[in-house]
Amino acid sequence: MNTLQVSLADRSYPIYIGDALLSDRELLCQHINSKEVLVVTNTTIAPLYLETVLANLTEYRCDSVILPDGEQFKTLDVLNHIFDALLQNHFSRQVTLIALGGGVIGDMTGFAAACYQRGVAFIQIPTTLLSQVDSSVGGKTAVNHPLGKNMIGAFYQPQCVIADTATLNTLEQRQLSSGLAEVIKYGIINDPEFFRWLEQNIDDLVARKTSALIEAVERSCRDKADIVASDEFEHGVRALLNLGHTFGHAIETGMGYGSWLHGEAIAVGMIMAAELSCRMGWVSREQVDRITQLIQAAGLPVKSPTTMSTQQFMDLMAVDKKVQDGRIRLVLLTDIGKAIVTDDYDAEALQATLDYFQSQS
Amino acid sequence: MNTLQVSLADRSYPIYIGDALLSDRELLCQHINSKEVLVVTNTTIAPLYLETVLANLTEYRCDSVILPDGEQFKTLDVLNHIFDALLQNHFSRQVTLIALGGGVIGDMTGFAAACYQRGVAFIQIPTTLLSQVDSSVGGKTAVNHPLGKNMIGAFYQPQCVIADTATLNTLEQRQLSSGLAEVIKYGIINDPEFFRWLEQNIDDLVARKTSALIEAVERSCRDKADIVASDEFEHGVRALLNLGHTFGHAIETGMGYGSWLHGEAIAVGMIMAAELSCRMGWVSREQVDRITQLIQAAGLPVKSPTTMSTQQFMDLMAVDKKVQDGRIRLVLLTDIGKAIVTDDYDAEALQATLDYFQSQS
């Protein structure tokens, strides 16, 4: 088992990465400080892993909530099911919530923990590649609003994260690829050496070779933890993690939550950002091609949805959180391994990029 | 105008107390850091003061949301109206929310500010005595859940609080008295000199003499600010502020939100706490009588609702936040001006206290 410390002053916490950690009772229980535990999971994960986790918790007054599975259920209404369960159990401010599932479960459970009685403890057990490398690091929790993704939430850190790579064996291939999109992102924005490692190992990752998965999860978490530690509340460098997200969120919203997976939308979004960067003369055509090829090799889409117009993209991008005083701020590239946040790009180049993807789709 | 600083490290903020502050454009605008403002108010306050506040904001891209008035609307569903307005306006992370109204508006607007895009700025303009002396100090924000009051919320501090005592002139007498319950509370728990001042000035306060109101608001805010500054997240001494609240929340929940006003329920709750303290031999009968008389002189109820049984009280108190490992922790008295948090009271004395109020009601 590898342990990685996310350093955030008095809110620091460890991430444990390894094989078959789910049945490690001691690992889990050392981070629970009271007798009350609520496990939050979904209809897909519950039959696979809930029993294993509950078997570790026989010493506690414990209950579980099983939410419907999917991004379309990441709403205030469904969040309320968690509050219902907490209150029906008369759970106090000392309760610990355990998020067992992917990013949606992690985001909702974390937000419920941030809000229940103004803040209780929670533990993340991410069971998808995407959540192991993304939402488990950094303390971003949220639910969606019909008018925008992740618009209602909190910065809130868990007690610990337990990333069991064995859980990735039950993942659908499409979900695995979606996680690889975020893994690739870390290479593109900040870690050129990791990008090259990914070019060499992408086939092993797609084939779920355990050693490759552990390496990819650990390097991704380390890259993200470094960035988050230097900018917990996203005033600066942390915004680089949004590479592909402004385009990607537009796709997710435009297509309806749950139609495109988050990683799929981000994958195309990253290629769009690279394309715009290329049109600005900041990266070469060859670099855009390398990015596109790696994303394709990961089993991800490289074209935008056929049904979305340039205007629809522009409208949806305008409600994204990255808008400041009316200008859409984007994460763009000056190299593979070097991203910048900027609104100093040519509006016509953005238009041309969107038109280009429209014509390709 | 009097200014009081609430000291909370990097989240410190000023409270301005005085007459006719609502039309002071400069006072308000110096605390707004962007061009986007959303004013949140309710159907009672909007016709009285919204125009005055909006007249200060002509330089901003500004909108307002008018919520239904009442504790029964302090829900996740109604909270969502604020998010709707923020997103329909495409307001960014730089927006400032202004809470114009009583405690419900302050709690909901503060919680919306804590959650919108994971945290935006907000300003409190409390227009009731209760909110001026209570919810405007300390950063507690929340909404209710059908199974418990203030169960979903956040600790979140405003940029500033503007307490205009002129707004108290339009307050219903019952609302004024409700605010006086919290004012009296500060005397009982921590400030015996203020308690004596209140005994001497209660008639002036009930008659809304401006100088008495300003004095009472300032001393209450100062007492509360001192306590909050030493315990922002309620791990210790801050819990004393809950005097009467465990009993009072049971009354509010038992009678249905909005039937008893918060201060009315707290008033009876404080007398119940005093009665239990007396039965434990910690305070004298004469002290209980002084507390009861002051509360009565403030125009507040001193008896519990006729329809609530001892068992109903016990059941409702068991879901209160102050429960730790099954024992109901209560704020009780050892003197006028000296409160303690304890679960070291006689269970039979609690039962007898509830039975006594039942027989009196």
Per-residue pLDDT of chain A (361 residues; tens, 9 = 90+): 889 988 877 788 999 999 999 999 999 999 999 899 999 999 999 999 999 999 999 999 999 999 999 888 999 999 999 999 999 999 999 999 999 999 999 999 999 999 999 999 999 999 999 999 988 788 999 999 999 889 999 999 999 999 999 999 999 999 999 999 999 999 999 999 999 999 999 999 999 999 999 999 999 999 998 898 888 777 778 899 999 999 998 998 899 866 899 899 999 999 999 999 999 999 999 999 999 999 999 999 999 998 999 999 999 998 765 555 567 899 999 999 999 999 999 999 999 999 999 998 7
Q: What is the mean pLDDT of residues B213-228?
A: 93
Question: Chain A contact for B325, CB < 8 A?
Answer: yes
Contact B181, B154 (CB under 8 A): no
Same domain, A153 and A223: no
Tokens of B8: 């909370």
Same domain, B68 and B185: no
Same domain, B201 and B275: yes
**Last-in-domain residue among A170, A198, A224:** A170
Q: What percent of chain B has pLDDT over 70?
A: 98
How far apart CA B300 and CA B202 sit, in angstroms, is 12
Same domain, A135 and A282: no
- The SS3 assignment for A2 reads strand
**Would you say the C-alpha torsion A258, A264, A270, A271 has a positive or negative sign?**
negative
DSSP state of B232: T
Same domain, B140 and B258: no
- Check residue A356 and give its pLDDT: 95
Nearest Cα residue in chain A from B155? A118
- ipTM value, please give it: 0.85
Query: Comparing C-alpha atoms, which of B319, B5, B359, B328 is closest to residue B161?
Result: B5
How far apart CA A181 and CA A311 sit, in angstroms, is 26
Same domain, B135 and B283: no
Contact B19, B166 (CB under 8 A): yes
**Last-in-domain residue among A170, A190, A216:** A170
Chain B residues touching residue A78 (CB < 8 angstroms): none
Same domain, A114 and A244: no
| pLDDT greater than 80 at residue B258 | no
The nearest CA of chain A is from the CA of B166 a distance in Å of: 32
Which of A144, A152, A156, A324 to mutate to test binding with chain B, by most B CBs within 10 Å of its CB? A152
Which positions ≥6 away from A30 have C-beta within 8 Å?
none
Query: Comparing C-alpha atoms, which of A154, A171, A278 is closest to residue A217?
Result: A171
Nearest Cα residue in chain A from B113? A152
Query: Comparing C-alpha atoms, which of A156, A95, A99, A153 is closest to residue A123?
Result: A99
Nearest Cα residue in chain A from B329? A92
Contact A123, A160 (CB under 8 A): yes
How far apart CA B127 and CA B310 sit, in angstroms, is 35
Same domain, A74 and A197: no
- The SS3 assignment for B237 reads helix
- Known active-site residue A285: no
How far apart CA A23 and CA A168 sit, in angstroms, is 15
Tokens of A46: 């519950």
Calculate the alpha carbon distances from B100 to A144, B60, B67, B103, B167 in Å.
27, 17, 11, 10, 11
Total domain count for chain A?
2
SS3 content of chain B, % helix, strand, coil (to 5): 50, 20, 30
**CATH code of residue B54:** 3.40.50.1970
Which positions ≥6 away from B289 have C-beta within 8 Å?
none
- Check residue A319 and give its pLDDT: 73
Tokens of B24: 């002071």
pTM score, whole prediction: 0.87
Question: Chain A contact for B236, CB < 8 A?
Answer: no
Contact B174, A140 (CB under 8 A): no
How far apart CA B234 and CA A286 sit, in angstroms, is 57
* B134 vs B271: which has the higher pLDDT: B271
Same domain, B219 and B312: yes
The residues pairing with B97 across neighbouring beta strands, listed in sequence order, are: B38, B122
The residues pairing with A13 across neighbouring beta strands, listed in sequence order, are: A6
Query: Comparing C-alpha atoms, which of A112, A119, A100, A116 is closest to residue A74?
Result: A112
| pLDDT greater than 80 at residue B156 | yes
Same domain, A144 and A19: yes
How far apart CA B83 and CA B65 sit, in angstroms, is 10
**Last-in-domain residue among B170, B186, B218:** B170
Which residues constitute the domain of residue A163?
Answer: 2-170
**CATH code of residue B202:** 1.20.1090.10
Question: Chain A contact for B10, CB < 8 A?
Answer: no
Residues 170-209 of B with CB under 8 A from A: none
- Check residue A228 and give its pLDDT: 85
CB contact under 8 A, A325 and B94: yes
How far apart CA A158 and CA A75 sit, in angstroms, is 21
- Check residue B255 and give its pLDDT: 92
- Check residue A90 and give its pLDDT: 93
- Known active-site residue A245: yes
The predicted-structure confidence for B188-205, as pLDDT tens digits, reads as follows 999 999 999 999 999 999
If 0-12 CB within 10 Å is exposed, 13-18 middle and 19+ buried, where does residue A93 land? middle
Query: Comparing C-alpha atoms, which of B181, B172, B262, B184 is closest to residue B208?
Result: B172
How far apart CA B308 and CA A121 sit, in angstroms, is 35
CB contact under 8 A, B319 and A90: yes
Same domain, A134 and A263: no
Positions of B marked active-site? 118, 140, 182, 224, 234, 238, 242, 245, 249, 262
- The SS3 assignment for A53 reads helix
Indicate the average pLDDT of chain B: 93
| pLDDT greater than 60 at residue B248 | yes
Other CB atoms within 10 Å distance of the CB of residue A12: 11
Same domain, A245 and A278: yes
Query: Comparing C-alpha atoms, which of B241, B193, B236 is closest to residue B215?
Result: B193
